Amino acid sequence: MLAFVQHTRCKPEAGGVLIGRFIRDSADIVIDEVTVPMSGDRKRRFNFWRSRQPHQQVLDKSWLESGGTSTYLGEWHTHPENIPVPSDTDIKNWQDRLKKDIFNGDTLFFIIIGIKILRVWDGSKTTLVFRLLNDNNSNS
């Protein structure tokens, strides 16, 4: 994912899905894999739109190969700013993911990779509320 940081003005936003698993008898979640921009995705300087089918194929393959333990955990994308903040479009998209996507549990994770740091939010399917999980911008 860090290969897609928007260090230069000509670099477009990029994104994909988070694939991983819930650790049995634990509250831990592991992200094992992420998809990267694929054919059909639309990348612009201030916008990324993920095409559903190619990313879903990767998810389906991962799920089958893992015997059903590997699952969709959320989304990631880049922003052309040092400390990323979700846009109104991001929030709407995240709410759509929580309402429309099929996933295990009540929570999805959303990562935005800025130029200097990345930030992670979780979102609740029940409340549609997002919570910032890390805020290490004191290092920037």
pLDDT confidence of residue 122:
97
pLDDT exceeds cutoff 70 at 137 = no
- Classify burial at 72, counting beta carbons within 10 Å of its beta carbon; exposed 0-12, middle 13-18, buried 19 or more: buried
CATH for 63: 3.40.140.10
| Residues in Cβ contact with 23 at an 8 Å cutoff, skipping those fewer than 6 apart | 29, 30
Q: How far apart are CA 102 and CA 85, in angstroms?
A: 26
pLDDT (tens digit, 9 = 90+) per residue, 24-73? Answer: 898 899 999 999 999 999 999 999 999 999 999 999 999 999 999 999 99
Active site residues: 13
pLDDT exceeds cutoff 80 at 140 = no
- Classify burial at 78, counting beta carbons within 10 Å of its beta carbon; exposed 0-12, middle 13-18, buried 19 or more: buried
Of 33-37, 103-107, 111-115, the range with the lowest mean pLDDT is: 103-107
- Residues 82 and 116 sit within 8 Å (Cβ to Cβ): yes
Task: Specify the number of domains making up the chain.
Answer: 1
Q: How far apart are CA 32 and CA 29, in angstroms?
A: 10
C-alpha Rg value of the chain to the nearest Å: 15
Q: What are phi and psi of 8, to 5 degrees?
A: -120, 160
23: domain range?
A: 2-139
